[in-house]
């Protein structure tokens, strides 16, 4: 049988300095995602977007607004409500040289495609002896979206990060969202790109000039020496809120935004912990076998002697996500939980 190996995707030049986050142009998180998709689709006609309501409806959350008009129905494709079906289609398309971008309206729905995501996508390159890869970007909303109930509020990174063969990206702001998604669209490995419905309307400076953010490179979002806060995605904002509150008491902390958890920038975490001697990991997954658990394990393995207090985790509570608004807010990591955790490491 004749096979068609996928053409290589040129990786961006990461030696160029990133543009400043400051500037005059402020756009929403969803617009940063759309710009990244559109710029890379103009560059490479092998990229196509598929998912529920991405075309005629302009996307359930308007990330793909206007893209059908520009790229046409062969590249912006509405799918049936069948995650297993269109995830499987993406596997075949990627094996034969295309670059699918699959939008899950919610990562909770990705569980319907678990066999494709956990068995086929991460293992195809290995199982085929390097003949076929699956350079697919799966993206969509992750975690509690605001009173969506237990089955629509999955935070999947704890589950999917257990599987070798995928890269997992969780941006916390529009600037990172654009730079990381552009990098994801150049990757030869499958990428799970986890967004948050609660952040799609967030606004920030996003430069017009082209830029890419490399995977496995954390961002120091706030600097201090009393404790290290490690987080990713939406909880980074809770950490920054807590850091501002602690600063009023003369307690200054490092806040590390990991950006990606596969690969994990453990070196930046170790460097910060060696400075502060204390660490709190904030993660919206459930606590048992979570990303926070893995981060704490690696910290203990690599810099135990630098710790002045045992590492502390702040996770979502170990129960299904509640529907009631007040209960859901308390279920998630929040500023109050983080303040309590930091003060615990300081013996306060």
Quick check: 261 and 161 in contact, CB under 8 A?
yes
Of residues 300, 314, 159, 167, the one with CA closest to residue 230? 314
219-222 β-sheet, strand order:
219-222, 254-257, 228-231, 279-282, 312-314
Active-site entry in 28, 35, 52, 83? 83
CA distance 184 to 168: 10
Of residues 99, 96, 60, the one with CA closest to residue 81? 60
Task: Spell out the long-range contacts of 11-14 with Cβ–Cβ below 8 A and sequence spacing 24 or more.
Answer: 11/186, 11/187, 12/182, 12/183, 12/186, 12/212, 14/212, 14/214
219 annotated active-site: no
Two tokens, residue 103: 């939008």
Active-site entry in 39, 152, 245, 309? 152
83 annotated active-site: yes
CB atoms within 10 A of CB 274: 14
Two tokens, residue 166: 């995928």
Active site positions, annotated: 83, 152
């Amino acid at each position: 049988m004749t096979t068609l190996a996928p053409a290589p995707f040129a990786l961006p030049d990461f030696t160029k300095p990133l543009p400043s986050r400051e500037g005059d142009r402020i756009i929403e998180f969803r617009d940063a995602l759309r710009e990244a998709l559109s710029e890379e689709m103009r560059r490479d006609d092998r990229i196509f977007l598929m998912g529920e309501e991405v075309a005629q409806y302009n996307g359930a959350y308007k990330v793909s607004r206007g893209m059908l008009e520009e790229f046409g129905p062969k590249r912006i494709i509405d799918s049936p409500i069948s995650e297993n079906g269109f995830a499987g289609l993406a596997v075949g398309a990627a094996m034969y040289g295309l670059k699918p971008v699959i939008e899950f309206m919610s990562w909770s729905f990705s569980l319907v495609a678990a066999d494709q995501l956990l068995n086929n996508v991460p293992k195809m390159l290995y199982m085929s002896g390097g003949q076929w890869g699956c350079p697919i970007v799966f993206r969509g909303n992750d975690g509690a979206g605001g009173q969506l109930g237990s089955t629509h509020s999955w935070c999947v990174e704890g589950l999917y990060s257990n599987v070798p063969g995928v890269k997992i990206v969780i941006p916390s702001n529009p600037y990172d969202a654009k730079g990381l998604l552009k990098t994801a669209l150049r990757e030869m490995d499958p990428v799970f790109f986890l967004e948050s419905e609660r952040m799609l309307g967030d606004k920030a400076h996003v430069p017009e000039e082209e830029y890419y953010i490399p995977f496995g490179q954390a961002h120091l979002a706030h600097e201090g020496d009393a404790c290290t806060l490690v987080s990713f995605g939406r909880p980074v904002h809770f950490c920054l809120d807590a850091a501002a509150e602690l600063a009023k008491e003369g307690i200054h902390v490092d806040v590390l935004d990991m950006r990606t958890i596969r690969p994990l920038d453990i070196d930046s975490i170790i460097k910060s912990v060696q400075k502060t001697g204390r660490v709190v990991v904030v993660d919206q997954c459930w606590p048992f076998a979570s990303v926070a658990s893995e981060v704490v394990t690696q910290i203990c393995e690599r810099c135990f002697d630098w710790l002045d207090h045992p590492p502390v985790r702040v996770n979502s509570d170990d129960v299904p996500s509640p529907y009631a608004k007040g209960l859901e807010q308390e279920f998630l990591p929040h500023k109050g939980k983080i303040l309590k955790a930091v003060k615990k490491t300081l013996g306060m």
